[in-house]
Structure 1
Amino acid sequence: MSNDVPGRSCPPRRALLAGACAVGVTAALAGCQTYGTAPVAAPGGPAPAPDGSGGTAAPDGAPAPALAALADIPVGGGKIFADEKVVVTRPTAETVKAFSATCTHQGCTVTEVTDGTIVCACHNSVFDIADGSVRGGPARAPLPAANVAVDGDTIRLA
């Protein structure tokens, strides 16, 4: 049977199928994209103190700037430091933790710390404040840990 029918303006069936396959393959490949996570500290960030005290120091040897006072981080909650790309949490009164503030799903900055969780409002991923593990949402990888040091009542990047 021929597709050359006088007065017919439809494309041949083979051309339609080829076009449909190309669209399907393109859509499937777009769904296979992967996303990385941003590093927690930028190059040139805080370095260990040269005196071996275990504290932190800026590249010029001065102490790393304070992120917050210990009292600024509520027990059972936390605080996001977007400029430093870190979220500091306090799961218990005796424990201070820090994680990358960059969501492992698609790289948005997390937006809130509430009810024992770190929330990314971009796609509703939720992470645990104690270990950064995924509690819900499309994220599959935990938030990477970041290093902080508590120096008396001051929290600094480590």
Structure 2
Amino acid sequence: MERREFLSNMGITLAIVCTGGLAACGGKGDDPTPDPPGNPPGNPPGNNAKLTVDLATQLTAVGSSIISGGVVLIRLAASNVPASFSAVTSTCTHMGCTLSGVNGGIIECGSSCGHGSKFNSDGSVNMGPATAALTKYTVEISGNTLTVK
């Protein structure tokens, strides 16, 4: 094989590898319907609750949050009524990774994806590259027990 033929073949091979790598980099893209989370630990089978919280011991301060069972749950106000809480999916709509935390009421997609999308507490996009909002869940309260469905 001559040098010219070898370099030509290497160039074609490199172009194919790079093109495949770029296609893989896109991930899931902006998927407005992320995969539903599984049954969280401690949630009996058949119970359609995504997350259950004891408000006597958890989320006692306004601004506190929990990420568990596929849910980001944030306390927005002091009273124990459903409107005082926001519950959204913990799966980023841009690349499908798990959201990393809540900072100042802003839900962040951190280092696991590395793209830096941010969402408001209601699930709407605060900063891209994500363009689709997070799925909202229903909050129900009975006594001190909050249930996300």
For this structure pair, what is the TM-score category when the shorter chain's length is used for normalisation?
0.5 to 0.7
Q: What is the aligned partner in structure 1 of residue 16 from structure 2?
A: 22
- Residue identity (%): 29
CA contact (8 A) 1:70 1:155 kept: no
1:113 corresponds to: 102
Instruction: Tell me the amino acid that sits aligned with residue 113 of structure 1.
Output: V
Rounded Cα–Cα distance in structure 2 between residues aligned with 1:65 and 1:145? 13
Residue of structure 1 aligned with 2:70, choices 85, 107, 112: 85
Partner of 1:42: 39
Higher percent of residues as strand: 1
1:150 aligned residue (125, 138, 141): 141
Q: Is the 8 A contact 1:40 1:146 kept in 2?
A: no
CA contact (8 A) 2:117 2:128 kept: yes
* Aligned match of 2:3: 10
Matches of 2:51 and 2:131, distance apart in 1: 33
Task: State the TM-score, normalized to the length of structure 2.
Answer: 0.66
d(CA) in 1 for partners of 2:140, 2:18: 51
Match of 1:50 in 2: none
Counterpart code for 1:38: D
C-alpha deviation, 1:11, in angstroms: 2.6
Aligned residue identity for 1:39 = P
Q: Deviations over 1:61-92 (max 9, x none)?
A: xxx984130673332x242242x221111333
Match of 1:126 among 99, 105, 118: 118
Unaligned runs of 5+ in 1: 48-55, 57-63
The AA in structure 2 aligned to 1:86 is V
Structure 1 pair 30–147 and aligned structure 2 pair: CA distance change class (3 A): same
Q: Equivalents in 2 of 1:128, 1:107: separation in Å?
A: 17
TM normalised by structure 1 equals 0.63
Q: Which has the larger radius of gyration?
A: 1
Q: Which has the higher helix share?
A: 2
**Unaligned segments of structure 2, at least 5 residues:** none
Aligned length: 133
Residue 149 of structure 1, CA deviation: 0.7
